[in-house]
Chain A
């Protein structure tokens, strides 16, 4: 009998087959986060991103419009460009120096007359186009040159994501990080959207927000979540915020949506964060975080830090204080909610292999977990039936 984990078989979290299917049908057929708009700031600049099975690069043309192409030389398939960089007018494959212009046209084949005495039709050997667009200050790529538009894909959930204008905020580079979690990507997503755990796993790390008053739901496969500040935080909110506001008053609260697939945002009154979940293997997932803050002077940040000090000095604490901690590096005694989450995900993944694993009933606050499983199933089914 298939062991189930609510709607999905336990295998969906462990097997290579499921992983391959998701890579092919979900991550290679949807809009994928590729970076922040400022990562490609000027004509000639480019970045590349692995989006499921596709490696796609984005380059800005002289008209300031972005182009996306599959990062595959049309000759022998070599990846054309690496990571990030700038070019003036052309992209040259390192292998045989085939060269493409920024429109993807093949413009030069070295020793053409000698190597291809019967001629070569360069016009049929342009780079394969993909799609790119910018939404909420983020770059998204899609492997299809004519995909459903981003406005259509995110349109219904867009109004529920908070009043932030990420394009007007500035990145806080120290907060940029990338780490691996030894758990399936869906475990990481489900932890992110589990409302029940907020008051428990994070009892001493996220209690400036009132989880009991959280409002959440779904627009298609996209999850939206908002919760207000807790009473003592809200009482003198403008004083208590650790850094200057990113959104005008009277907006308050935390918006923590999870867009499909694995695109988490977390935005409060004073910051805007992204949480990008990328499957690496059935039991291994990468998380990338980036943070943007108000475009204010260092002095403004300093002032706000002083003003809010009295709130934060006694705030927070350890999940397991005193004797319960196993040692200095016990995540349950870190006082850091990210360390708490990673720990919970990895401990959960470990148990899936046990023949005795049997999932317990889902709580109300876990309804998003169950719904996400459904969203995965529905997306897979739609891709498989071609609808």
Chain B
């Protein structure tokens, strides 16, 4: 990935779901199209200077590759950046944007013939929406089934666009809405009421069983939902390697009760070893930055994986590890932005 920020001009900004979210389209100059080429499901990091401090946030690109670079940002209550985007950003403004990255991505292949099941909730639809479009446009032998959870009919992101996909690709795309608190008056009855759970997943799969037998499961929703869907799929004997997920929205970062201890860390970066003191409860990333080093990092919320490092010696507590695959964890990879020290001597490497 390219860890540099580029200044991009906002071409258009549109409210979604009655202003509760905004879609921002950026102008991409011709000389940056290659740098900003993305896979469906990847995100970009935006950098703002608000209240005198630098704020970075990762947002998923909600368009399939080839379409305009667009992110869709749902407002978070009291959220500094999401409300800034919703209230103040306007066409013509420039924003610092880091090129796309992220491993929760679907690369369509015209010669693949797959069955994709998508389980999404809330703003977790954004990467899935890009993936579904990519499958329908680029992977024409494959089919896509979306089970989409929301609170009520009014909070459904991309409702109209999804209806159009259903109409345009009736033989290759199915859409089922699950509403946890449907309003009596405003919307047609959803496929199911409640939350996406085991029995719903079972019903969904037996209603539309896979025809193409290369089956992939893509899960993106707020924290608890991902774990629930994964458990339900594993209970049905779905091999873990076919389940791809990313946590969205409610990633709880600081709420952890784990307190980091003070430590000395040996840090390998750009083929040099540095001694870095880690303060109590300081993340390894912040410790390394405070020491004047320049490690790769981006979202600072455990989602993007840019700050990945290999733990060679000692122990850490990781507060969120969504960007890591099980195989990464087995190798000893950690997210430095999410790790605090759990032993007083540490050795990590950003070069592995």
Total A-B Cβ pairs within 8 A: 49
SS of A interface (majority): mixed
Q: A64, A101, A132, A149: which contacts B113 (Cβ < 8 A)?
A: A149
| Docked CA distance A133–B205 (Å) | 17
Given the interface contacts A133-B212, A134-B211, A152-B111, does A63 sit within 8 Å of B141 by beta carbon?
no
Q: Does A106 contact B (CB under 8 A)?
A: no
The answer to whether A132 touches B112, judged by C-beta atoms less than 8 angstroms apart, is no
A383 → B minimal CB distance (Å):
21
SS of B interface (majority): loop
Q: B112, B209, B215: which contacts A151 (Cβ < 8 A)?
A: B112
Q: Does A163 contact B (CB under 8 A)?
A: no
Q: Does A176 contact B (CB under 8 A)?
A: no
The answer to whether A151 touches B237, judged by C-beta atoms less than 8 angstroms apart, is no
Residues of A within 8 A of B237 (CB): 61-63, 101-103
What is the size category of the interface that chain A forms with chain B?
20 to 34
The answer to whether B111 touches A63, judged by C-beta atoms less than 8 angstroms apart, is no
B200 → A minimal CB distance (Å):
14
Q: Does B31 contact A (CB under 8 A)?
A: no
Q: Does B78 contact A (CB under 8 A)?
A: no
A142 → B minimal CB distance (Å):
11
Q: Does A65 contact B (CB under 8 A)?
A: yes
Residues of A within 8 A of B239 (CB): 103
| Docked CA distance A132–B141 (Å) | 16
The answer to whether A151 touches B113, judged by C-beta atoms less than 8 angstroms apart, is yes
Q: Does A167 contact B (CB under 8 A)?
A: yes
- CB contact list, B197-248 vs A, under 8 A: 205-206, 209-215, 233, 236-239
| A64, A101, A152: most-surrounded residue (chain B CB, <10 A) | A64
Given the interface contacts A62-B237, A63-B205, does A150 sit within 8 Å of B113 by beta carbon?
yes
| B113, B212, B213: most-surrounded residue (chain A CB, <10 A) | B213
The answer to whether B233 touches A63, judged by C-beta atoms less than 8 angstroms apart, is yes
- CB contact list, B235-270 vs A, under 8 A: 236-239
| Docked CA distance A101–B236 (Å) | 12
The answer to whether B113 touches A133, judged by C-beta atoms less than 8 angstroms apart, is yes
Residues of B within 8 A of A152 (CB): 111
Q: Does A9 contact B (CB under 8 A)?
A: no
The answer to whether A134 touches B112, judged by C-beta atoms less than 8 angstroms apart, is no
Q: Does A155 contact B (CB under 8 A)?
A: yes
Q: B112, B205, B214: which contacts A64 (Cβ < 8 A)?
A: B205
| Docked CA distance A61–B213 (Å) | 12
Residues of B within 8 A of A134 (CB): 211-213
Residues of A within 8 A of B214 (CB): 133, 149
Q: Does A208 contact B (CB under 8 A)?
A: no
| Docked CA distance A48–B233 (Å) | 26
B140 → A minimal CB distance (Å):
9
The answer to whether A63 touches B236, judged by C-beta atoms less than 8 angstroms apart, is yes
If A133-B213, A151-B112, A151-B141 are given as contacts, then 11 extra A-B residue pairs at C-beta distance below 8 Å, sorted by A number, are A63-B215, A66-B210, A66-B213, A134-B211, A134-B213, A149-B112, A149-B214, A150-B113, A151-B212, A152-B111, A155-B111
- Could you write out 24 A-B pairs with CB less than 8 Å apart? A61-B237, A62-B237, A63-B205, A63-B215, A63-B238, A64-B205, A65-B238, A66-B213, A101-B237, A102-B237, A132-B213, A133-B113, A133-B212, A133-B213, A133-B214, A134-B211, A135-B113, A149-B112, A150-B113, A151-B111, A151-B113, A151-B141, A151-B212, A167-B211
- In the complex, the 5 A-B pairs of residues with the closest C-beta atoms, listed nearest first: A151-B113, A64-B209, A63-B236, A151-B141, A133-B213
Question: Which residues of A come within 8 Å of B, CB atoms?
Answer: 37, 61-66, 101-103, 131-135, 149-152, 155, 167
